[in-house]
Structure 1
């Protein structure tokens, strides 16, 4: 009734029909009740009276039958000599036979009577049942006769409604066919769009939000795909299970400025694109190629708008070559201060800029992107030592961390050794290595294969930028010389060591010498890497890697030493960190089975040992003499190195005993490693500054034991 509260005619019809059927149901129930009552009464009388008499007569018949049998037996057993008993037995036999005959006649009479009465009782019950139904039918007919005029009225209305429904049905069918034709034509257009290689991309410059369904690949073991409602709004990417509300939406990326979105082809699924952030990668799939391009274009446009808004912040404050908008991105929001204010007032309002930001961005050439020249770069590839804009950083991230390790200069945390690597390289040095044969006049360059490649600019397309960066770093098209036979002769190891010794530990040859080196093949480049690592010259090491050097090369001319082992001999952390950032394996031994950790223990450099231990160096490996790094440090009586190795081993054992859960002393170990990494390599007594941390850690680990 609730569903038809607005239809008066239908409500009235339902009410009348309900009343009629209720009356019919009442009459029917009354009829059934009366018939059942009469039938039960007749059956009870028939069973209790008539059948009982039959049972009693049958019982009497059986009793007299037994008495007759007994009388016959006694009569047969009386002796002839006893005349009195013979007469008595004969008399009893006559009496018993008479009683049996009477009982037989009575039993037969009752059986015949009940047979006839059974027919009459059944017919009587049927007749009464039919009379009851007849009365019910008469009452029902009277009820429906009273309702007949209204039924005829409803029938006429129903015919009218059926005609209207047929007309409406035909109209809806015509509209459905029209919509279906439009949908079919749209699906054909979508198919053409999905198979076309030159689709037109619709970018909505005035819209700040985009929503729609996408498939998301989960991060679980089976990598399944789930359909979710995705939202790009307020420079954020989020998703939820349904599109009705945003409640409970999961924020996938909080800042799209830090992300790069590219189409993804390395999968069997179509219409996929990849969102690459500094810490993780998301793989998404659209319903068709047109939607995929719209999502990619919109996310790129959103990130670009946010980045441009950030760059449009008033830059009325300058500190060296670092602008105010850079400080606003690396620190708390900066209020614009007039240049007419007193210096003291201005300095009080300036937020503190992290030291690593100044160190990185004040290096020569680092004020613009190393690849396209965009001003004020905020990103860096710290294993290559270059600063990048956000567009070029996205291409670097797509190479993989084994090729280029990217992080934000202002938003991410930097370790001291990573900053030292950046300080010794920079964009100018990287260009002298990776853009050695780039033409200065014009934007079109020739690679080593003779193919023309357009040089990237701040406003170039992504295709041009990606082709340029790929040719520059992955293919290294502008590194080798055309006349590689004419290059300076490499000094020998004794010459290098004498030059370093005469120059108070510094590289006497200088960056220009190393940047002018060349190599004909991978082996020559690997030997160049060993020589540059031996003196700790990072530009020379980067040049050797650009020439194709193997970071895990074993120099058979010098006890199978690797470039990482050579870098340890400098006593500096930066060369070691550079090798580790570029993929050097920490457990590759030399001919004497000494790993880099063995050599660091021999040299007694606690900072280098911390770098190796942070890369999970195996301190249980033994050299050809059966000594591990700890036994070498004990033999050399180096207290700092022994303490670091013992505490690292203790931390490893505690992690194993705790079943892989967090160790309470992990923070203390990290603090000790940080302190040792921060020690200047030239400071002989610098390690004493960490003794308090070591003592605290020792007492803590003793407590846990």
Structure 2
């Protein structure tokens, strides 16, 4: 115990002692105030903690109720039970922590305030009372005259008694002062130590509970990742199915009439029919009829028991009722009774008649009639659409080989923007790989900036895979991040917030802050004369110096443009690169503002797309189309990309343009459409494609759905154009005589 006041000084009752006492009293009173405030805050904390624990217990109870609901799902039920048990134990630990905190505060802080400080105050009162008595006795003793000997003796005795009492009380007060000054230190420290021990114990127990579930949590996380992928696939399949069904004519009930052959549940035919009651009122009711197990049955609601109309189809017959006042009626007649039924349409009626007759025949042969197989419906148009929409595109459904092939390219093993490893998304017009968060930001930019597709979930045509392999993160970042190092801009990392990544992506692709800036002179040269600019004076066209294109060709399809072409206007550079299948240079030109439909007035107003057609570059055409090239923009002779592909006999390109919505009926200045040109050039493959497309177009115009043969042919042509283009050179001289 550290002595704060000296007992000898106390007996002297000196001014130093009085000053020391006043200082100690102020300190004790301030300590009392702060401790009472701490007790109040502790009480509020404990009340809030108990409310939190009670609410948490209720939440865990809700989780357990949910686990009872999920008893049929082993994975979900196990997860909810394990986690609810762990949460319940963690909440119990928190309740113990609150109890320990309350006990420590009562044992140390509350005792210090309510007992020790109280004794201090009582000792102070006794000290003040003794001091006042001593002062009064001293004053009385000083006033007694010398001549009054008796009074003087009495005053001396009283003074002695008062001094003895005052000193005893002062000593007691000093003792209380020293005790409380020393005790406050270890009581407060003991309280804090007990509090932190309880906190540590609670956290350690929680950590142990979490560690026990660590392996399960990792396994569950992997299963959830797989579930997310499967859910995305199912969603895509449902959306495709939804799109296909939505294109049907659903205004008629026969469009969804269901007739089945080898039905696993024994139901051959089912659907709604009106049934006339056998009562006197002859009322009509709509019921759900079905043919199953050689019986005709119906029910009103799914929970209702089946009502049998015909117990054995072998003992009945079916016939239409054309003379009945109601339309589309037919009658099922058995030896015991007959049942008059009404369909919604003539086709509906005929379907039911056929189904009942087939079921009667199958009942006699103890087999099942097998109605003609029906192909699933396909999207209603080929022209203006893609094979991807049909669900029959090449390598549809997320081939893992696509992911492996694309990720092996330079820089593609990390997200192009934030460097997140193992990206599973891509921008097909930029040719880069992305993580899921950056892909969402790219998608928000709009398809005119970035077209996002999953490497594992979506379908990939072979030309798109090759396009991705021609570009890649390394090539694109050399364009779009050319000035990042000199600008000392900080790239986002995988752990950055979405806002930081979005700011970076917009600056990179929308504002194009980091690309190499072009001189104003270069940007103002080279002009484009589109259809709306015919009355304006032309800007300088692209006229490369003699031999420059030849030298560029020596560089190879992926070579860089020679020095004398690097000063070109971006549109002219795009035109040059399209003629050499130089996709990185094409991407560079687009990044610097090249119009994807730039017109070269020096070469019959041809566009970069027409230039790529001239050299039979499927990849360059695909890249331009993905970046918004107009598939129907014609040159000065009125010939579009499909015309030129037909003239040159590039079957793969003709197939690509048809898939991307090329106009079959566009005519050039000579009045010829692509089919006429294909017949003149005797290209049997292109004639086949164009005739199929025209037939399909006519079917769509008449509201027919057609079959899927044309899709199979287009798929084969697409694969051959990408993998074996040399096989698409077939000509048939007989076509010229048609």
Q: Do the structures match in fold with TM over 0.5?
A: no
TM-score range, shorter chain: 0.3 to 0.5
TM-score (norm 1): 0.43
Q: Which has the larger radius of gyration?
A: 1
Normalising to structure 2: TM-score of the pair? 0.42
